[in-house]
Structure 1
Amino acid sequence: MKYAFISDIHGNANALDAVLDDINKQRVDKIIVLGDIAYRGPEPKRSIELIKSLNTTVVKGNADEWVVRGVRQGEVPDQALELMNLEREWIVNRIDQVDIDFLAGLPTEAIIEVDGVTMQAFHATPTSLFDVVLPDATEDKLETKLFCEKDAHLYLYGHIHKAYTRVVNGKTVVNLGSVGLPFDGVTKASYAIVEVSGGTISTSHRRVAYDYNKTIRQYEDSHYPNTQMMKKIIETGSI
């Protein structure tokens, strides 16, 4: 079985188009989506519609939760709270209640078992939509934060927008990076492929070029509330 894991689209439907086209060329058996679909991008509605059209497993991210109920104090720096809720309001005004209900009803993890291999997939950690586990986290932190709920062979997550793979005490950790807003300095959409055959696991990352200037123009033309910061992230692949 060959799986594509994608996450952190953040309303960048142009990047998602490119990734889905690339996935189609890889002859993947199934796509798994690990959250953050609409918030902070110029095409929230189309991003949700594209994900729904896959008819596949989708788990909830922190930004999906924010679309549903707003950004709360303590979840972001105090100085960013008002602006981030303005962004949330902009998003909500461009989607429907059925879209909000879809995001609200998403599960927080997916367990995949195939050919004797168990994979656990979630947005940030198995117990939180918000915890941050960076690529240089200690092995102890990886074990405490990521391995705490399920004894799996492979753990996959998004949230930090930085693609990496590590092996810790015989368990493989894969961060998918981000489809719509990479933070690792590469201005290309990121996703991961996992192939399982006869108990053998193969993992890889793919970086997909897309017309990010089109996305920037969409931010500008739609008068997005935080256009300058989002343009910088899109142009540089970093925050």
Structure 2
Amino acid sequence: MKVIVFSDVQGNLPAFEAAIELILGWGPDLVIMAGDLINRGPSSLACLERFDTLRGAHGWLPVRGNHEVWVQRCGREPPRNGLEAEMRRFADWTYQQIQPRLDALQGWPDHLCFHAATEQSWVHVTHGTMLSNREGITADLPDETLRGTLPPDLALFVTAHTHRPLARVLDGLPILNVGSVGSPFDGDPRGSLAQLSFSRGAWQWEIRRFAYDRTQAERDFWDLGFIDQGGPIARILFEEWRQARLLMPLWRRDFEPAVLDGALALEPAVDTFLATLA
């Protein structure tokens, strides 16, 4: 049995197309998209429609990520004030893009399970952990924190959310983080996904890194309106994509509290933050 699990396309169509080519060339029996297909990038509608076509033609399966949840929530709940409207403008922009195809997001589960030839081969796939699709598993997360957040009696637990590929073991249970197709945060700008195969009574896996047309991806950020219409925070998200590293926690630590308190205006604060990265 051959299985592909990928995640965190984040509206990056050139990266998604490269991943699709790799996947179809390998010929898996099962393909699972483990969440965050949309948002943070400029081509959420195109990625959603592309995935929905592959779902219909090849039976690809979705798992809901935190960005699917949040963007749909933005569509239901207006911002509470002007500052919140500016800070989440990129997500509201994404909602406007995908609104004609909200049907394609209906019924996505939070978890998927499957097994191979034996009852001892169960695999559980989710975007985060059993606690939440916003809870990521990292290399430095203590074992005692992770215990109780994973289901029992598995051969393999597959997760995503952190945008960093990872393999670790907790009390004999292998944990595999598949990384990100469209916006890795480990310093390597290439996309990543996981190839799983079941042979000789056990799961084997490999993280595949792949190049894609980053020049086109960068043009998309500008030409499709994400930077100009997504508000100041969109510029931080673009820089995360460009540098292939996580920047939002630094923004939240060093600048966001003053913005929320009214001591700093949002756009000048983003300007200063980005200048500190140069």
Alignment TM-score, normalising by the size of structure 2: 0.77
Q: 1:181 touches 1:234 (CA, 8 Å); kept in 2? A: yes
Shift of 1:142: 2.7
Aligned residue number for residue 153 of structure 2: 151
Aligned residue number for residue 212 of structure 2: 210
Q: 2:138 touches 2:166 (CA, 8 Å); kept in 1? A: no
Letter in 2 for 1:54: L
Q: Per residue, is there more helix in 1 or in 2?
A: 2
Aligned residue number for residue 85 of structure 1: 88
For the pair shown, the structure with the greater C-alpha radius of gyration is 2
Letter in 1 for 2:122: T
Letter in 2 for 1:142: L
Deviations 1:203-231 (A, max 9, x none): 11011101112111111112312443233
Aligned length: 230
* Structure 2 stretches lacking a partner, 5+ long: 77-82, 247-278
Q: 1:3 touches 1:29 (CA, 8 Å); kept in 2? A: yes
Q: Secondary structure at the match of 2:222?
A: helix
Following the alignment from structure 1 to structure 2, what is the Cα–Cα distance between the partners of residues 23 and 172?
A: 23
Shift of 1:237: 0.9
Distance 1:181 1:223, change over 3 A: same
Aligned residue number for residue 75 of structure 1: none
Letter in 1 for 2:94: I
Shift of 1:83: 4.2
CA RMSD of the aligned region, Å? 2.1
Pick from 89, 99, 119 the counterpart of residue 123 of structure 2: 119
Pick from 94, 98, 113 the counterpart of residue 97 of structure 2: 94
Deviations 1:160-194 (A, max 9, x none): 10101112222110001001110010000111111
Following the alignment from structure 2 to structure 1, what is the Cα–Cα distance between the partners of residues 87 and 103?
A: 21
Q: Aligned ranges for residues 139-218 of structure 1 at < 5 Å?
A: 139-145=143-149, 147=150, 149-218=151-220
Pick from 65, 70, 90 the counterpart of residue 66 of structure 1: 70
Distance 1:142 1:103, change over 3 A: same
Q: Secondary structure at the match of 1:4?
A: strand
Letter in 2 for 1:47: C
* Structure 1 stretches lacking a partner, 5+ long: 73-79
Following the alignment from structure 1 to structure 2, what is the Cα–Cα distance between the partners of residues 141 and 111?
A: 23
Q: Secondary structure at the match of 1:70?
A: helix
Shift of 1:104: 4.3
Deviations 1:128-178 (A, max 9, x none): 121232222122223322x2x342110001111010111222211000100
Following the alignment from structure 1 to structure 2, what is the Cα–Cα distance between the partners of residues 82 and 150?
A: 42
Percent identity over paired residues: 28
Following the alignment from structure 1 to structure 2, what is the Cα–Cα distance between the partners of residues 37 and 16?
A: 9
Alignment TM-score, normalising by the size of structure 1: 0.89
